[in-house]
């Protein structure tokens, strides 16, 4: 089966990249376990950090990397996505904390603190695991235009903040940094 057989043309912005492999798959809750089984790469699982070249991600594109056995979503957000997220006030949020491992634990979930920060607000890096029971949310879907978890219907916004459904927390932002203009180290 070629990757093209499984792709919804509207979702070509979703890339899966792991060590030694670059490919495009149909995104979704089902796609991840499938790929996971095909690539039971213990050395990848054990890596404490991964470096990701994001030079090919134009605004509106995402990729998913595997880090410590979990998917990490990296998205270059569009100006519209940023604007919508910036307009949300903290008291509209179900979880008002940034859940950003690069900041203090009480940092608020404003858009800047969810993103890669000043000057890099377009970059969103987060662990792609629903904070309800751990499914992998689908990107650019749901009521808030961010991520939607089909398992029990949780909707996240364009900053990965939980807005509706049973999930209790915003998707977690892992430790990461830009090691060059086009490379991110996660972990």
DSSP 137: P
Does 151 bind ligand FES (CB under 6 A)? Our answer is yes
Nearest approach in angstroms of CB 148 to ligand FES is 9
Binding residues for ligand FES restricted to 86-145, rule: CB under 6 A: 130, 132-135
Q: Is the dihedral of CA 45, 49, 55, 60 positive or negative?
A: positive
Of 1-9, 35-43, 71-79, 149-157, the segment contacting ligand FES by CB under 6 A is: 149-157
Of 15-23, 40-48, 99-107, 163-171, the segment contacting ligand FES by CB under 6 A is: 163-171
Cβ–Cβ under 8 Å, residues 137 and 28: no
Which residue(s) pair with 22 in the sheet? 17
Identify whether 132 is a catalytic site residue: no
Nearest approach in angstroms of CB 149 to ligand FES is 3
Instruction: Find how far residue 184's CA is from the centre of its chain.
Output: 13
Distance CA 120, CA 126 (A): 14
Catalytic residue among 59, 79, 83, 152: 152
Listed in sequence order, the DSSP H helices in 25-110 are 31-38, 42-46, 79-86
Q: What residue ranges bind ligand FES (CB under 6 A)?
A: 130, 132-135, 149, 151-154, 165-167
Q: Catalytic residues, which ones?
A: 152
């Amino acid at each position: 089966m070629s990757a093209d057989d499984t792709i919804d043309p509207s979702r070509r912005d979703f890339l899966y990249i792991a060590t030694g492999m670059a490919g495009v798959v149909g995104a979704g809750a089902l796609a991840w376990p499938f790929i996971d089984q095909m690539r039971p790469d213990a050395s990848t699982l054990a890596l404490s950090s991964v470096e990701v070249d994001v030079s090919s991600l134009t605004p509106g594109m995402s990729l998913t990397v595997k880090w410590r056995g979990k998917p990490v979503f990296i998205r270059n957000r569009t100006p519209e996505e940023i604007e919508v997220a910036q307009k949300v006030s903290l008291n509209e949020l179900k979880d008002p904390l940034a859940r950003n491992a690069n900041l203090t634990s009480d940092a608020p979930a404003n858009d800047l603190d969810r993103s890669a920060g000043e000057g890099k607000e377009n970059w969103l890096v987060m662990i792609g695991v629903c904070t309800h029971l751990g499914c992998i949310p689908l990107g650019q879907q749901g009521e808030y235009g961010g991520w939607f978890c089909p398992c029990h219907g949780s909707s996240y916004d364009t900053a990965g903040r939980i807005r509706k459904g049973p999930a209790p927390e915003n998707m977690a932002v892992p430790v990461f940094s830009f090691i060059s203009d086009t490379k991110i180290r996660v972990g």
